[in-house]
Amino acid sequence: MKFESQVVHAGDRRRKPGVPVPSTTPIHLSTTYFYDSVAKLDRIFAHEEEGFSYSRYGNPTNEALETLLATLENGYGALATSSGMAALHLAFQAALLDRRRSIVAANSLYGSTVTMMDQLLCSFGVQVRYVDICDLEAVARAIHEAQPGCVFMESVSNPLVRVGRMEKIAQLAHQAGAVLIVDHTFATPMLFRPLDLGADIVVHSATKYLAGHGDVLGGAIISNQAHYEIIRTLARASGPILGPFESYLTMRGIKTLAVRFERQCQNAKALAEWLAGHPRVERVYYCGNSDHPDRCTIEAQFAPGLYGALLSFEIKNADRAAVMSFMDRLKMVVPGTSLGDVHTLVLYPAISSHRDISPKMRERMGIRDNLVRISAGIEAADDIIMDLDHALSAA
């Protein structure tokens, strides 16, 4: 099936002889399962037979979502987690469990990810080295010198939308015996599939584009066969699993991902083109820009005609107070701390996604105090533009 059909059908409507098939996946709220014989339960606990015993180990609703996620990312298996950060933490644990406690990471990342590596992982002896992930020579040099157990990157960086050559980076990581982990939240499997390009583990904040409606907090890990069982084993021990109701909502949201994301990409393109000509805008960061520094990589990796639904822009001569005033003047666009919803969202990285990053570090990352990030929704593009124009022009 093509992607547009997979999002609708994968994971649902499993047929068993003589058993009626619900047209949508039921929500299984039970924590505990038993069988006609304890011997069968024993075999299930021993993983000698498929089945459910305790929801921290597996749940039918979660399993349906995980089947869908693995299908969309072309992975061996998936795990639904309680948040995107929980997914990322578990991915790092799985990658570094029997490897050198060292990470080579992109130097432009979500602020909470940097906090996790610098404050949490480092306290457990993990060394982190940051590198320009779009500079292959620098990546190769960093991997050679650090000999990491893991290489980490975002498929599209937050918030300056840089795109690294994933296939080449995967080759460099594997030559050093390292695992490549990719945060694929911004791009979604609709743009491309990191596992097809050599990544070992893919993580998502399912809160964003997958669930898509701002009503679910969740995450996901999808991996190749080599890492799936260790991810499951660690999850059984630490328990960062998603609840069945949230799994149901995420699965329901994914069913419209193809149509939502296509519209969001179209709106982002229209916004980027309009913002580029606005007198109050200094610069626009968007994967569809003809002068994007990673243009060749984007054209090679992304689905034809789609450039993602995220963009950022700098307001001319704006300080923090001016940016906040701009956001306060918005009437329809939501000044919220997320992305991927059906409504358009505007975020100010300096006070939200990158708040815990020092001003000097933000400056080195290229995140200036006049930078604003937009997550395009599915509204009429003209209405989004009208609202942004009002808020910008009133300054």
pLDDT tens readout for residues 121-145: 999 999 999 999 999 999 999 999 9
Is the same domain home to 293 and 233? no
364 pLDDT band, cuts 50/70/90, is confident
Annotated active-site residue in 162, 165, 183, 228: 183
User: Is 168 considered catalytic here?
Assistant: no
Picking from 225, 191, 210, 239, the residue whose alpha carbon sits closest to that of residue 93 is 239
Task: Verify that 211 and 104 share a domain, yes or no.
Answer: yes
Are residues 130 and 22 both part of a single domain?
A: yes
Give the CB-side neighbour count of residue 242, counting CA atoms within 13 A.
35
278 & 236 share domain: no
Q: What is the largest CA-CA distance in the chain?
A: 73
pLDDT of residue 312: 97
Q: Kindly state whether residues 100 and 204 are assigned to the same domain.
A: yes
Q: Which structural domain, as residue segments, surrounds residue 354?
A: 258-393
The beta strands (E) that lie in 278-337 are given as 281-285, 310-315
Residues 6+ apart with CB under 8 A from 164: 106, 133, 134, 139, 153, 294, 297
Cβ contact 385:344 at 8 Å: no
Final residue in a domain of this structure, among 254, 285, 320: 254
pLDDT digits (tens, 9 = 90+) for 279-327: 999 999 999 999 999 999 999 999 999 999 999 999 999 999 999 999 9
Which of 110, 228, 285, 307 is an active site residue?
110
Whole-number Å distance between alpha carbons of 155 and 302: 10
Q: What is the mean pLDDT of the chain?
A: 94
Residue 383 and residue 277 share a domain: yes
Mean pLDDT for the stretch of residues 153-170 = 97
Residues 65, 187, single domain; the answer is: yes
Q: What angle do the packed helices 381-393 and 257-276 form, to 10 degrees?
A: 40
| The residue to which tokens 């339960």 are assigned | 41
Q: Both tokens of residue 381?
A: 């593009």
Contact 227, 94 (CB under 8 A): yes
Give the chain's domain count. 2
56 catalytically annotated: yes
33, 43, 54, 56: which is the annotated catalytic residue?
Answer: 56
Check 165, 208, 280, 373 and give the catalytic one: 208
Confidence of residue 395 (pLDDT cuts 50, 70, 90): low
Give yes or no: residues 304 and 242 share one domain: no
Q: What confidence category does residue 98 fall into, taking pLDDT thresholds of 50, 70 and 90?
A: very high
Burial (CB count within 10 angstroms: exposed 0-12, middle 13-18, buried 19+), residue 291: exposed
